[in-house]
Structure 1
Amino acid sequence: MIAGLGDAGLLSAIQLNKKFEVIGISPKPCLVSGQELGPRLARPKDWEENYLIDYDRFKGLKGVDIRHAKVSEIIADENKIGLIGYDGSRETLTYDALVISSGTRNGFWRTSHFENNDDVQRNLTEKSKAILSANRVAIIGGGPTAVSVASNIKEMRSDAEVNLFFSQETPLPSYHPRTRRKVEKFLRSQGVVLHPLHRANVPTDLDVEAFSSDPISWSTGQEPFDADLTLWAIGKLTPNNEFIPADMLTSDGFVKSNSFLRVAGYDNVFTVGDIAKTDDNRSSARNAGHLILAHNVKAYLEGRSEKMKPFKPPRYRWGSILGVQKKGLSIFTPNGERVGISPWWVKNLLFPVFVWRLIYQGLEKRR
């Protein structure tokens, strides 16, 4: 049983489907990736090709029982979970092993509420039109989401004033110092206006699923700032944990995970992705965490728990930060080096061969 079919849960389901009967549960009708918000807003049609995909197109999910539902409760002592379906129906299912990959919510690009295909498409279109039509944009946050949005909006709207506010001296605090310097230099070369050492006063009634237009005030003493549109990407994460027993959770609401991606005290409950507190960066959402997860679930179900492998978080975050842009894709390595991939290689090799064929085990053509 896999509770959550975002990026990490989906990849785990594909691996486990090779040997076991898998049931996947998601409030979404398809994969709605939380990755690459910048391209999603700046070039939604391009983003949709690679990050908004019907579940039935994944060859590796053939035979997986996918429920358009939410988990309402985990009854761990009985190996059962309760479900609420998209249509309001309720049922209880029994599992041999449970994977909690329910993720987090922190804005309109990562939500936990039910959606159908029309809802997903409407959200994608409306948010993109709104930010691309603004002449003065403020983006609050110094993480990869904020940086990606600032860079990609500026690339598409060179005439717009794009302002990035962050509380430290340079953005991307969880990345290697070389990565931070390179990305900062690139943002300046694009014409993004950088505002370091700005910590915003977060409105008590802030709706992170919407843009705002009210003046922004600062606890660090700067003058208030007015923008046509403000995107809050301040890392205000809320774990999707409403159905998870309290003894499975850390004090900040994430799922307790040992080095084997196993929930402490529960031999047959595992966790992966942004909900799993493996380390401060919750790195199993990346770094092939799904492969370690699938290996360990398989070892458990086959009675070979001694064969489990530990998940080892990297010191720094790494990978794509800005997403695919006009000049291609930049991958930043764990030691801060940049690897550039040209648009031709991205389109003809990276996604069709490396991503879809190797990582996702095959993808059928869009109908």
Structure 2
Amino acid sequence: MDRKRVVIAGLGDSGVLTAIRLAPRFDVVGISLNPGLVSGQELGTRLARPDDWARNYWIAFDRFRALDGVRTVHGTLTGADLSAGTVNLRDVDGSPRVEGYDALIISSGVTNGFWRQGVLQSAPQVAAGLRSTHDRLSAARSVAVIGGGAAAVSSAVNLAVRWPQTRVALYYPGEHVLQQHHWRVRRRVELRLTAAGVALHPGYRAVIPDGFDCAVITSEPVSWSTGQPPLTVDAVLWTIGAVRPNTGWLPRHILDDTGFVRVTPELEVPGVDGVFAVGDVAATDPLRSSARNRADGLLAHNVAAHFTGRRMRSYRPPARRWGSVLGVQPDGLEVFAPNGLSFRFPAWSIDRVLQPWIVRRGIYRGVRARDQGLVTKG
């Protein structure tokens, strides 16, 4: 019997993990804007220590042993005919292509700042982007981080720790940071921000001009709708959650009013046979939490169940965000549970246990060694 073909539209964090799960049972085709996994995780580490970030979060597809049987296509999705079971794309050479499928998984992610751009990139372009943002911030003597979410606090802490001579300040509209996390996490992270030397400024809401591109680091004065005087610093990092789903290639009827893909609790797209969605692009819940809660295993089970008629499982989102917030720090990695309690991987265990055994061997099922060869300064 011919193996069923599963097309995964987007090979970010969720797409790669789902492909690893499905590869032993199906013919899997993955379509990616990047020539490898370029993770959207750990923005602070990416900005402050790009070599460290690239070692663990930028991984060429041919390094994943579990993807050896997966055909990866480097290109841009341009359309889909869900009734015919095909997706359209333009490959890296600009040539149009059509890929047929028996099941489609939409994991095309979101555009969010310069770290998740939603555009076709080569490996040199990825490297150049890492270097340019790092160099821009390393040259600044004062940095304002705008926003109060995980990307904002991670960036502020890591920049302050990396360059203690730089004045780093965090501006956010609420009374506290991390409004989608447990109060214990907020309290703990605010203490870590203060200890790192980050100046906290609650109650500041920035004015966002029409057409403003949050994907750039700026130096122009920042105005506030909350009445404070304009702010001028060397570099302004905009981490304001201006998320846009990468769904312009999809039929409008499967999207919600904000452009995210509608799904059932089983991660199926309602009313369309054999189409699923996972990750930041899937409207599972207000936090779109399947991107951070290892829904790849549940989705792989449900794709198989779709073909065999077995019972599917339902995704149950947590009430709050959880996981790592600040990334690896000099004293290790602190990971928060949904109830706000935390556990720590000590610093010595990151490169000896966590990355080689838990992540590369356990989660990714084997990653071949290769030096990314980045050169950074500062």
The two structures have a TM-score, normalised by structure 2, of: 0.95
Decide which of 15, 29, 37 is 2:35's aligned counterpart. Answer: 29
Cα displacement (A) at 1:209: 2.0
**Counterpart amino acid of residue 348 in structure 1:** R
Cα displacement (A) at 1:101: 0.1
Distance across 1 between alignment mates of 2:205 and 2:367? 43
- For residues 163-242 of structure 1, the aligned pairs below 5 Å read 163-242=169-248
Counterpart of 1:323? 327
Please say if residues 171 and 202 of structure 2, whose CA atoms lie closer than 8 Å, have aligned partners that are also in contact: yes
Cα displacement (A) at 1:338: 1.9
Instruction: Provide, for residues 263-303 of structure 1, a one-character-per-residue CA deviation record: whole Å limited to 9, x for no partner.
Output: 11112000000000000110000111111111101111223
**Counterpart amino acid of residue 334 in structure 1:** P
Counterpart of 1:278? 284
- What is the DSSP-based 3-state SS (H/G/I as helix, E as strand, rest coil) of the residue aligned with 2:88? strand
Distance across 1 between alignment mates of 2:98 and 2:128? 32
**Counterpart amino acid of residue 272 in structure 1:** V
Distance across 1 between alignment mates of 2:43 and 2:268? 30
Counterpart of 2:370? 366
Instruction: Provide, for residues 158-211 of structure 1, a one-character-per-residue CA deviation record: whole Å limited to 9, x for no partner.
Output: 111101000100100110011011101111111100000110001223222210
Cα displacement (A) at 1:333: 1.0
Instruction: Provide, for residues 225-266 of structure 1, a one-character-per-residue CA deviation record: whole Å limited to 9, x for no partner.
Output: 111000101000010001111111000110001100111111
Decide which of 68, 78, 101 is 2:84's aligned counterpart. Answer: 78
Are 2:250 and 1:244 aligned?
yes
Distance across 1 between alignment mates of 2:82 and 2:211? 36
**Counterpart amino acid of residue 201 in structure 1:** V
Are 2:142 and 1:136 aligned?
yes
Distance across 1 between alignment mates of 2:211 and 2:233? 18
Counterpart of 1:350? 354
Cα displacement (A) at 1:348: 0.7
Decide which of 61, 68, 80 is 1:62's aligned counterpart. Answer: 68
Q: Which shifted more, 144-153 or 86-95?
A: 86-95
Distance across 2 between alignment mates of 1:340 and 1:288? 20
Counterpart of 2:114? 108
Instruction: Provide, for residues 321-365 of structure 1, a one-character-per-residue CA deviation record: whole Å limited to 9, x for no partner.
Output: 011122111101111012111111111111111111111111111
Computed over aligned residues only, the root mean square deviation of the Cα atoms, in angstroms, reads 0.9
- What is the DSSP-based 3-state SS (H/G/I as helix, E as strand, rest coil) of the residue aligned with 1:366? coil
Cα displacement (A) at 1:112: 1.1
- What is the DSSP-based 3-state SS (H/G/I as helix, E as strand, rest coil) of the residue aligned with 2:83? helix
Q: Which shifted more, 205-214 or 91-100?
A: 205-214
Cα displacement (A) at 1:39: 0.4
Are 2:18 and 1:12 aligned?
yes
Are 2:167 and 1:145 aligned?
no
Counterpart of 1:93? 99
**Counterpart amino acid of residue 206 in structure 2:** A
**Counterpart amino acid of residue 322 in structure 1:** L
Are 2:313 and 1:309 aligned?
yes
Distance across 2 between alignment mates of 1:354 and 1:312? 24
Instruction: Provide, for residues 23-46 of structure 1, a one-character-per-residue CA deviation record: whole Å limited to 9, x for no partner.
Output: 000011111101001000101111
Distance across 2 between alignment mates of 1:351 and 1:299? 32
Please say if residues 215 and 238 of structure 2, whose CA atoms lie closer than 8 Å, have aligned partners that are also in contact: no
Instruction: Provide, for residues 95-125 of structure 1, a one-character-per-residue CA deviation record: whole Å limited to 9, x for no partner.
Output: 0000000000011100111110100000001
Query: How many pairs are equivalent?
Result: 365
Instruction: Provide, for residues 33-63 of structure 1, a one-character-per-residue CA deviation record: whole Å limited to 9, x for no partner.
Output: 0100100010111111100110000011011
Distance across 2 between alignment mates of 1:174 and 1:99? 27
Distance across 1 between alignment mates of 2:29 and 2:305? 19
Structure 1 stretches lacking a partner, 5+ long: none
Counterpart of 2:50? 44
Q: Which shifted more, 203-212 or 3-12?
A: 203-212
Are 2:333 and 1:334 aligned?
no
**Counterpart amino acid of residue 207 in structure 1:** D
Counterpart of 2:267? 261
What is the percent sequence identity of the aligned residues?
A: 45
Structure 2 stretches lacking a partner, 5+ long: 1-6, 372-378
**Counterpart amino acid of residue 10 in structure 1:** V
